[in-house]
A and B are shown apart, each in its own frame.
Chain A
């Protein structure tokens, strides 16, 4: 059997990558079927390329698409603003004789156009932007779910927990001492051990949120998020360390608890908060009080318009039978979900 020519080898290479021309398709197939050397080369190339198939494609997250539309709307809006500026410039130029009525009618027309554009576009843009933030927030919570799952798999099925004992505070975010004094320390373990990047703990809907730019070495030197602005989510207060909690529709993370929006700046101060009618009903500030994203332990993320979850309508932001909070109360049972601070 004659040896393969360079041209034939190139045909086989192209065939393996799906790059052969339609005219050569049958020729190369027949070559592989009838020539042992060709078959051997085909197998070798295919086998060499096969690891590439492990890079499976992921679906594009919807918030990225919404972001593209949002950016288009913003660009269109900035064009309108530019147009208005040009119009104002044009009208402010001295053109000699002033004709009041033509100019007045132009001003009225321009004002009417501006008013119309503003009333039509601003609510649409605002709504598109908020929708985009909501979806990005959901995606971030799903990344936290992935981090929790990986952490649990690496730590004998335990969730990150640094002992929240009765009588210890859980509200002092950024407290750097050795004693546990903040519930956010549990989430920090995910950052510290590289399971979730700090950016995923800042809801895009929160204006005061700030992404922490720590490398892994810096992260290891801390025991908690340095300040509240670096984590704008609330997480479940566990009744005690290593509590066995059921997976499934068990709320674990959510947009920030509206009760604890104004925590004392100084961690040495005391917290005292009494529930009132407003605090019992308002939604998280993260999405303009319209509802909150909740991450459940089954990995699902849901946006809910009210705070009461499950068949018992348990309020995720309060403890049962508790009206006054000093920042160290914990649930009596795991059935009482309490996401704080």
Chain B
């Protein structure tokens, strides 16, 4: 389930928001809240951080509204702010964490061919044998242990349905890099999933 992927906000709401209208700001929050909340839940996986980053992202959106080009889509702008805030929160957490956390793992690049080999391998993916909750828990674990740059691309593309072009603009990196990171992220997810499911069956 995803929210408001295609429905654009009324341009009048955007115009009122640009003028600092608080009601328009509230409408914007209500329009994007579920999509952004879902993105942060998947990216951060820690409730306190999600709450804080969510609120900070909307505050910055409001405070930097004069820099927004109203002819463009507000959604990538908001997600860019949120992604940067989320990465800041993770960096802060890393500075204070005594135990190494998954997000600082290395992200060895995987070629498209290697990723396809993993995806197309005939190993069983016995999803049906697992309960929904169990599957979700395992998937969450694998995603949380992914390097931050791969996790970000996977969530933005698969769950939030941003295009290559939008992601390249949001993250300020070339489309080619976005593609290779996504291939690596998907290949890595498939590999880890097969290992996890295989070990849980033993």
The chain A residues found within 8 Å of chain B, CB to CB, are 6, 9-10, 13, 17-19, 40-41, 44-45, 47-52, 54-60, 64-65, 67-69, 71-72, 75
Contacts and interface: CB of A to CB of B under 8 A. Distances in A.
Contacts of B120: 40-41, 44-45
A40 B120 CA distance: 8
Interface stretch (B8-16, B25-33, B69-77): B25-33
B78 interface: no
Nearest to B137: A54
Contacts of B125: 47-48, 50-51
Given A9-B116, A47-B125, A51-B135, 14 more contacts: A10-B179, A19-B164, A40-B120, A48-B125, A49-B186, A51-B139, A52-B159, A54-B135, A54-B136, A55-B139, A57-B34, A60-B54, A69-B26, A75-B59
Contacts, number: 112
Q: Which 3 A-B pairs have the closest CB atoms?
A: A60-B37, A57-B38, A54-B135
B93 interface: no
B163 A19 contact: yes
B139 A54 contact: yes
Given A45-B120, A60-B54, A65 B30 contact: yes
A45 B118 CA distance: 9
B59 A71 contact: yes
Interface string B96-126: 0000000000000000110010111100010
A59 B36 CA distance: 10
Interface in B15-60: 22, 25-26, 29-30, 33-38, 41-42, 51, 54-55, 58-59
B127 A50 contact: yes
Nearest to B62: A72
- Interface SS of B by simple majority: helix
Contact of A69 (B3, B29, B139, B159): B29
Residues of B in contact with A, size category: 35 or more
A75 B139 CA distance: 38
A41 B116 contact: yes
Nearest to B143: A55
A64 B138 CA distance: 27
B193 A51 contact: yes
Contacts of B62: 72
B51 A67 contact: yes
Contacts of B138: 51
B91 interface: no
Nearest to B121: A44
A64 B172 CA distance: 29
A19 B157 contact: yes
Contacts of B2: 57
B79 interface: no
A71 B121 CA distance: 50
